[in-house]
Amino acid sequence: MRNLMLLVEYDGTDYQGFQWQMGRPTIQGELEKALEAVTGQRTRVIGAGRTDAGVHARGQVVSCRSGMALSPDQLRSALNARLPKDIAVKAISPAAEGFHARFAAKSREYRYTIWNSSVRSPLAWRYAFHFSKPLEAEAMHTACCSLIGTHDFASFGSRLWERGTTQRTVYRAECWREGDFVYVEVEANAFLAQMMRGVVGTLIWVGEGRLRPEDFQHILEARDRRLARNLAPPQGLCLTRIVY
Amino acid sequence: MRNLMLLVEYDGTDYQGFQWQMGRPTIQGELEKALEAVTGQRTRVIGAGRTDAGVHARGQVVSCRSGMALSPDQLRSALNARLPKDIAVKAISPAAEGFHARFAAKSREYRYTIWNSSVRSPLAWRYAFHFSKPLEAEAMHTACCSLIGTHDFASFGSRLWERGTTQRTVYRAECWREGDFVYVEVEANAFLAQMMRGVVGTLIWVGEGRLRPEDFQHILEARDRRLARNLAPPQGLCLTRIVY
């Protein structure tokens, strides 16, 4: 048995998220189905990030164990031939014994894309959230800088299991405009469930002028989920990179 | 009755092209249905470019006549509320009496996008043609420069009506690489049916090394459709701009 590391890209529009669910289309389910078809063995995959329903990934990493004799490149081609067109394995490399895609990850990077124009865009709606009122990206950037560092992010997301902590460390947080697009990018050691969407939803209130950047920081410090209930929709979110 | 000019964007994936066809989904059909629902009048729209099935547009222009009292912005909002999410009217402006979106156009610009990587991309497949063998974009650029000027383009496309000419004038033709994407952009006074896809299909042969740039020029000069039978698929093509 070998341990493998797979770099995976997907369009999450038609999936119920990464994690396997009985009878529903998920990224994990499709990857495991393709692995079983190619290798003849039931194979469990572990993803570095558990993306929600409708969220995309350009840099998801999964690990799995396989007894196959195929080279990584042959296995990649065989998997891509079986996977639906909205999921692809971009690269496969051998991983050290005991490598675990989730526990070994040093950080994750997510990018959120907002299409900020009075008119919706038929060419952007799958990968961007359309928000028609003008957003002040500089105020959003000022606000999101207060995320940097080690904080209790309870205002912006939920713990993943009952006894987990809501403390995380954000290494980088940026917001900027390029034409009609506004981007929010955050790199952290790990994310709470729905944390990125909670952050962006509240940043949008700052961008509209409904909150000041200081209010954003107060919401963070309050550690109260009820203060940040504007959850940005999933289609703007993309898991862009995992660092090991 | 007023004459109007509409700037239209669409994702052509699920349509049988711009032009109206009985009982099939087309861009023209959807625009006319929305106009009739909003204005209560049957309205004929004229498009500047007749895009093929599966081809996208970021800058299609259509003209129509309307007796509505709504302001252009109100009409735009009402149309966008009715149109499917893969079609939108980006702007409406009053046009001079007698303005005709097709006849008045001085030039059209198309862009073709190739995803040139050994692995397909789930986030790019709707708007790019996946070509896995490495392409030499510089050779493709050298070849496509021979399109510039007034030529008989019979090798690359068909006349739109029986007595039409196959002579067109290309003002600009460029090919370049950005990472794993290769782009081909051509601006011409007008295009023959399937001309852009015929040009790109033959340029791909140059990029692969199956043809030299000089061979591309000989194919153009031969005015023989049988020499350029590699038609690039529609999903990579986008009508980007109409100049008046």
CA dihedral B73, B77, B83, B85 (to 10 degrees): 110
Q: What is the pLDDT of residue B207?
A: 98
A216 three-state secondary structure: helix
14-73 in chain B: CB under 8 A from chain A = 56, 58
CA–CA distance, B69 with B197 (Å, rounded to integer): 41
Residue A23: half-sphere exposure toward Cβ, Cα within 13 Å = 0
CA–CA distance, A230 with A236 (Å, rounded to integer): 14
CA–CA distance, B116 with B142 (Å, rounded to integer): 19
126-185 in chain B: CB under 8 A from chain A = 126-127
- In order of B107, B196, B237, the CA distances from B146 in angstroms are 18, 14, 20
Task: For the beta carbon of residue B194, count every other beta carbon within 10 angstroms.
Answer: 18
Least confident of A169-178, A204-213, B92-101, B232-241: B92-101
Q: What is the pLDDT of residue A124?
A: 94
Q: Could you list the beta-strand ranges (E) of B95-145.
A: 107-115, 129-130
Percent of chain A with pLDDT strictly greater than 70: 100
Q: What is the pLDDT of residues B113-165, one digit of tens each?
A: 999 999 999 999 999 999 999 999 999 999 999 999 999 999 999 877 777 89
Q: What is the pLDDT of residue B161?
A: 72
Whether B15 has a pLDDT exceeding 80, the answer reads yes
How many residues are there in chain B? Answer: 244
Cβ neighbours of residue B162 closer than 8 Å, sequence gap 6 or more: none
Task: For the beta carbon of residue A170, count every other beta carbon within 10 angstroms.
Answer: 22
CA–CA distance, B177 with B141 (Å, rounded to integer): 10
CA–CA distance, A86 with A83 (Å, rounded to integer): 8
Q: Is A69 or B244 the better-scoring residue by pLDDT?
A: B244
CA dihedral A117, A122, A128, A131 (to 10 degrees): 30
Task: For the beta carbon of residue A106, count every other beta carbon within 10 angstroms.
Answer: 11
Q: What is the pLDDT of residue B66?
A: 86
Residue A1 forms contact with B (CB below 8 Å): no
Q: What is the pLDDT of residues A138-178, one digit of tens each?
A: 999 999 999 999 999 999 998 777 778 999 999 999 999 99
Compute the C-alpha angle B43/B47/B48, nearest 5°. Answer: 150
Q: Which of B58, B76, B89 is nearest residue A123 as measured by Cβ atoms?
A: B58
Q: What is the pLDDT of residue A214?
A: 97
Q: What is the pLDDT of residue B170?
A: 98
Q: What is the pLDDT of residue B1?
A: 81
Q: Which of A10, A56, A80 is nearest residue B119 as measured by Cβ atoms?
A: A80
Sign (positive or negative) of CA dihedral A177, A182, A184, A185: negative
The model's confidence at residue B70, banded by pLDDT at 50, 70 and 90, is confident
In angstroms, the separation between the Cα of residue B221 and the nearest Cα of chain A is 36
CA–CA distance, A126 with B125 (Å, rounded to integer): 12
CA dihedral B44, B45, B51, B56 (to 10 degrees): -120
Residue in B10, B79, B123 to test binding to A, most A beta-carbons within 10 Å: B123
Q: Which residue of B has its CA nearest to A84?
A: B122
Domain-by-domain residue ranges, chain B?
2-94, 107-243
CA–CA distance, A202 with A199 (Å, rounded to integer): 5
CATH topology of domain A2-94: Alpha-Beta Plaits (3.30.70)
Q: To the nearest whole number, what is the mean pLDDT of chain A?
A: 95
Q: Are A130 and A214 in contact (CB under 8 A)?
A: no
Q: What is the pLDDT of residues A108-121, one digit of tens each?
A: 999 999 999 999 99
The residue-averaged pLDDT of A31-46 equals: 94
Partners of residue B126 in chain A, C-beta under 8 Å: 126
Cβ neighbours of residue B221 closer than 8 Å, sequence gap 6 or more: none
For A9, the enclosing helix (H) or strand (E) is strand A2-10
B163 three-state secondary structure: coil
In angstroms, the separation between the Cα of residue A93 and the nearest Cα of chain B is 15
The residue-averaged pLDDT of A92-110 equals: 94
B28 three-state secondary structure: helix
Q: Which of A88, A120, A125 is nearest residue B121 as measured by Cβ atoms?
A: A88
Q: What is the pLDDT of residue B68?
A: 75
Partners of residue A238 in chain B, C-beta under 8 Å: 123
Cβ neighbours of residue B3 closer than 8 Å, sequence gap 6 or more: B63, B64, B65, B94, B95, B96, B97, B98, B99
Q: B37-60 burial by CB neighbour count: b if 16+ within 10 A, else e?
A: ebbeeebebbbbbbbbbbbbbbbb
Whether A91 has a pLDDT exceeding 80, the answer reads yes
88-127 in chain A: CB under 8 A from chain B = 88-91, 119-123, 125-127
Whether B97 has a pLDDT exceeding 80, the answer reads yes
The model's confidence at residue A1, banded by pLDDT at 50, 70 and 90, is confident
Return the structure tokens found at B4.
């109007």
Q: To the nearest whole number, what is the mean pLDDT of chain B?
A: 95
Compute the C-alpha angle B82/B85/B89, nearest 5°. Answer: 65
Q: What is the pLDDT of residue A158?
A: 86
Q: Which residue of B has its CA nearest to A132?
A: B77
The residue-averaged pLDDT of A37-42 equals: 92
- In order of A9, A97, A166, A239, the CA distances from A49 in angstroms are 12, 21, 16, 8
Whether A240 has a pLDDT exceeding 80, the answer reads yes
User: What are the residue numbers of the active site of B?
Assistant: 52
Compute the C-alpha angle B196/B198/B199, nearest 5°. Answer: 65
| B2-94 shares its CATH topology with B107-243 | yes
Architecture in CATH of A107-243: 2-Layer Sandwich (3.30)
Q: What is the pLDDT of residue B159?
A: 79
Q: What is the pLDDT of residue B237?
A: 98
The model's confidence at residue A69, banded by pLDDT at 50, 70 and 90, is confident
Cβ neighbours of residue A222 closer than 8 Å, sequence gap 6 or more: A155
Q: Are A187 and A107 in contact (CB under 8 A)?
A: yes
Whether B69 has a pLDDT exceeding 90, the answer reads no
CA–CA distance, A199 with A144 (Å, rounded to integer): 8
Q: What is the pLDDT of residue A184?
A: 98
Bridge-based pairing state of the strands B56-66 and B237-243: parallel
Could you give phi then psi for residue A29, rounded to 5 degrees?
A: -60, -45
